[in-house]
Structure 1
Amino acid sequence: MTAEVCMMNRLAVVLAADSATTVSRWVNGEKEERYFKGANKIFQLSDHYPVGLMIFDSADILQVPWETVVKCFRAHLEKKPFNTVEEYAQELFSYLSDNPRFFPESVQTDQLLRPVRSEIFGWLAQSKEAEAAGGNQRDRLDQIIAERREVLDALEMSPCLGQELAEKIVVDHREAIEKTIADLVSYFECDPPSDIAAAVETAFLQVLKHPEDHLSTTGLVVCGFGDHEIFPAMVEYVSCGIVAGKHLHIKKSEKALDHDNPAWLSAFAQTEMTDTFNLGLSYPMYAQLMITVTENLAEFASQVATASGGEIAAIDDLDSLVQGAKDKIGSAVLPIPMKPPLCSEMIAPPVSGMISPPV
C-alpha cells in the first residue's frame, strides 16, 4: 500500500510518503514485480529553487530508477529558474524525451511492442471462444477488430505523440507485428484477420490512445514555488514511459493557492488513511457499509410484505426502491462521494519533506 500526502499553505509545501515501492521487470516474457521498503519517493527537483517531486506506483521508468533520473535532471537544470511549477514539470518531460542515454531505442521498442502483441493475443483468444461455441472464428475476429477501431477512431491521439508520429510508429513496426500475427495464428490454429493491415493499426492505436492502461506507469506530483508564483502550486501527472523518443504523460489534477484559498491537503495513491482522517471512514469501510445496507433493506422489505399479508413479488421495481433508499442512507452517512483506492502494496515507515520559498 502506497500512501502519500501533499499539504500546502501560503508559506510552505509538505510532502509525506511511506517508503515502500514497486519495481517491475520482464523475465522470459512475464512481468515480475518486486517490493522494497526503503525507497525514496520524495526528491528536490532543483538544487537552487523550492520545487519538489513525489512519485508513486512504479519506482522506475523503462528500468531506469526515477531517483537516478532526478539527480541527473538537477545537474542539467543547474541554476535555471522557471516561472511556474507547471513549467518545471514540462522541462523534466522535455529532458526525458529524445534521451537515448537513458532510454535506448531497443528498450523503447520492447516496451511498446509487448502490449501490442498482448492485444492481438487477446483478440485471437476471444475469436477461438466464439468458434468453440459454434460460431465462425474469423467473422468474430473481424467483428472484434472493427468494434475496437470504431471506438478508437473517435478518440484524439495523445498530444505527446501527435498523429504524424503515431502513423510513423505503425509503419516502422508493422513487419514485426505482422510476424506476431502469423505466429499466433499458428499457435491458435485459426484463421488470421481478413485485413491484416487494419488489425496491426488497430492494435497500435489501442496502446497509443490508452497508454495508461497498457504501459508501465508512475504517478508524478510536482509542487513548490515557481519563480513568479507568490503562493505554492501543485500539478499531478501520470508518466507512461517513452515511446518513439517522446515521454508520454497525462495531466490528472492541479492546484494553486491564492488570496482566497489559504491551504490545501490531498492524498495520492492509497487514500484510506487520509479519508479516515478527513471524513471519518475509509472507502473499504464505506463500501462494506453500503453492501450491508442493501442486503438488509431487501430482506426488510420482504419481511414487511409478509407481515402485512402482501406479496413481495408484486413489487415490480423492488431493486430500484432498495437502491434509492440505499443512496439516501449513503448520502446521509457521507455527503462527499468517495473513490476506491488504487494500490495494494505493503505499507512501510513514512518519510516526509518540506518545501518553502527562499527567505
Structure 2
Amino acid sequence: MTAEIVIINQHGVAMAADSAVTIGSQKIINSAIKLFSLSRTEPVGIMIYGSANLLNIPWETLIKLYRKENDSKLNNLINYGEGFMDFLHSQLHLFSDDQQNDWASNRISDIFNYIIEQIKTEIINLQNKGAHVDEVVINTHAESIILEYLEVLRGNPQIYEDDIEQSLLDRIDSISIKLIEDVFPFTSSKPDIRNLLTRVAQLSVLNCAPINSSGIVIAGFGEKDIFPSVVTYEIYGVFNNQLLYIIRDDKTIINENSKYMKSDIIPYAQEDVVRSFLDGIHPELFNYAIDFTEKTISQILSDPLLEFKNDIDIKSLSKACSESLKQEIQRFMTSNLLSPMIEMIKALPKDELASMAEALVNMTAFRRKMAFSSMETVGGPVDVAVISKGDGLVWVKRKHYFPKELNTHFFENYFK
C-alpha cells in the first residue's frame, strides 16, 4: 500500500510519495521508490501506486527503459502519457502466453475466492439464526450473491470493444473451468450457476475490476504547455497480447489555457486521511451516516402503527431521503471546505506546494501508525519533487539506495 499526492497550480506541480511496500500479508519494507523523472531533461515526472509490477516486470525497470530510449521533446503533457503507453505496447513480447494466462487465472481466482467467502458468511449467519440449511438453500444464496457481484462487474469500465471474438472468450473459459471446479464444487449439478460463474470470469478479464492493478501518474509540462497537467492511468495487466488499461478521468487534469486553468489536490491509493482533511469528514463516516439515515427512515416508516405506510414505497422514499442528505452534505463540503482550500492552493509558491504535498503524505503515515487495528502501510522517507516550466523537475527530497559520495560515477553518467 502507499500514499501519494499531486498538488497542481499555475506555478507548477508537486509530487510526493511514501516508501512503504507490503510483501505478502505481514511484511512491510520502507525503502520502495515510487517517484521518478520520466525524462532526463524535460519537466515530466511519473509516480506508481498499487502493484509494483506489470505481471513479473518491475515498473521501475520499465520506466527507466522508456527514459533511456525516449529523450525527445513532446508538445504536450498528454503526449508523454501516450508515448509511455505506446512504449509499453512495444514491450508486450516480454510477456509470454503462459504469463498472461497466469495473470488471468490469478485475477479470476481472487474474485472467486471473494465470492465464496461471501457465500460462506451468509450460510454461517443462517445457521447461527437456527435456519435449516441444505443444498437447495446453499445454491439459492450462492446464485443471489453471484448475481450481485456480476452486476458490480458490469458496472466497471469495459476495456474491450463490444464485438468480442469468441476465441478470446474461449481462452478465458478454459482458464476458469478448473477454478470453478476447485472453488465451487457444490455447483457441479447446477449448470445455471456455473454459467453465471463463467460470465463472472469473463468480466473479470474484460472489464476493469480494481484488483491488483497499478496506477501510473504522469505530471508536468510538454514543450508547448504553459501550465502543468496531470494524467492518471489504471493498468490492469496484459492478456491476449493487449495492454489492459483506462485513463482515470477523475484524477486527470489537462490545462490548455489560462482561462480554464485548474488547481487541485489529488490523492492516490490510501486517500481517506487526505479526504478527511479536504472534506472535513472521513469517507467511512460519511458513508455510514448516509446508510444509517436510509435504514433509520425505512425502519420508522415500517412501523405498524403508521396507517399510511401501505400507500407509499418505503424503500424508494428512504433512498430518496438519504440521497438528498448526501447531496446536501457534499454541497456544503464543497462550498465551505474544499473550494476555499483550492482557492488558497492557486496562490501557493513552488516551495509551499512541496511542503504541503509532503505534509499530507506524512499525515497519512502518522494516522496509520496510530491505528491500533491496522498495519503501518504508509511510511518511510517521503520523496518530493516540484516541476515548473522554468526550472524543470527539481528534487526537494529524494532517497537513494546507495551512498551518493561513493557513487559519483552514477551522477556523472546520468546525462551521457
Give the TM-score, by structure 2 length. 0.61
Cα distance change of structure 1 residues 236 and 150 upon mapping to structure 2, 3 Å threshold: closer
Cα distance change of structure 1 residues 96 and 278 upon mapping to structure 2, 3 Å threshold: same
Q: Is the 8 A contact 1:290 1:330 kept in 2?
A: no
SS in structure 1 at match of 2:166: helix
SS in structure 2 at match of 1:212: coil
Query: RMSD over aligned Cα, in angstroms?
Result: 4.9
Distance in 2 between residues matched to 1:330 and 1:124, nearest whole Å: 34
In structure 1, the partner of 2:45 is 52
Q: Is the 8 A contact 1:145 1:202 kept in 2?
A: no
Q: Is the 8 A contact 1:141 1:193 kept in 2?
A: no
The letter for the 1-side match of 2:267 is F
In structure 2, the partner of 1:233 is 229
In structure 1, the partner of 2:170 is 171
Distance in 2 between residues matched to 1:237 and 1:217, nearest whole Å: 10
Distance in 2 between residues matched to 1:41 and 1:191, nearest whole Å: 49
Could you report, residue by residue, the CA deviation over 1:15-52 in whole angstroms, capped at 9, with x for unpaired residues?
1122223356xxxxxxx574321212211112232111
Offset of residue 73 of structure 1 = 1.2
Offset of residue 84 of structure 1 = 2.2
Offset of residue 58 of structure 1 = 2.3
Cα distance change of structure 1 residues 247 and 34 upon mapping to structure 2, 3 Å threshold: farther
Could you report, residue by residue, the CA deviation over 1:326-345 in whole angstroms, capped at 9, with x for unpaired residues?
76995697355999x9x972
Distance in 2 between residues matched to 1:200 and 1:143, nearest whole Å: 12
Cα distance change of structure 1 residues 326 and 224 upon mapping to structure 2, 3 Å threshold: closer
In structure 2, the partner of 1:27 is none
The letter for the 2-side match of 1:167 is Q
> In structure 2, which of residues 201, 209, 228 is the aligned counterpart of residue 204 of structure 1?
201
Offset of residue 234 of structure 1 = 0.8
Distance in 2 between residues matched to 1:324 and 1:120, nearest whole Å: 32
Cα distance change of structure 1 residues 289 and 189 upon mapping to structure 2, 3 Å threshold: closer
Deviates more, 1:134-143 or 1:11-20: 134-143
Q: In percent, how many aligned pairs have the same letter?
A: 22
Aligned pairs for 1:238-317 (under 5 A) are 238-253=234-249, 254-257=252-255, 258-262=257-261, 264-269=263-268, 270-275=270-275, 277-279=277-279, 281-283=280-282, 287=286
Aligned pairs for 1:70-89 (under 5 A) are 70-77=63-70, 79-89=71-81
Distance in 2 between residues matched to 1:14 and 1:349, nearest whole Å: 16
Q: Is the 8 A contact 2:275 2:283 kept in 1?
A: no
SS in structure 2 at match of 1:97: helix
SS in structure 1 at match of 2:11: coil
Cα distance change of structure 1 residues 69 and 287 upon mapping to structure 2, 3 Å threshold: same
Aligned pairs for 1:124-163 (under 5 A) are 126=119, 132-133=133-134, 135=136, 157-158=158-159, 161-163=160-162
Offset of residue 67 of structure 1 = 1.2
Give the TM-score, by structure 1 length. 0.70
Distance in 1 between residues matched to 2:228 and 2:304, nearest whole Å: 59
In structure 2, the partner of 1:91 is 83
Q: Is the 8 A contact 1:14 1:355 kept in 2?
A: yes
Higher helix residue share: 2
Cα distance change of structure 1 residues 167 and 358 upon mapping to structure 2, 3 Å threshold: farther
The letter for the 1-side match of 2:234 is V
In structure 2, the partner of 1:353 is 385
Structure 1 alignment gaps of length 5 or more: 25-31, 303-310
The letter for the 1-side match of 2:378 is M
Cα distance change of structure 1 residues 287 and 165 upon mapping to structure 2, 3 Å threshold: closer
In structure 2, the partner of 1:21 is 21
Distance in 1 between residues matched to 2:137 and 2:323, nearest whole Å: 43
Structure 2 alignment gaps of length 5 or more: 127-131, 339-363, 369-373, 392-416
Distance in 2 between residues matched to 1:14 and 1:48, nearest whole Å: 17
Q: Is the 8 A contact 1:45 1:53 kept in 2?
A: yes
Offset of residue 357 of structure 1 = 2.6
> In structure 1, which of residues 188, 191, 196 is the aligned counterpart of residue 189 of structure 2?
191
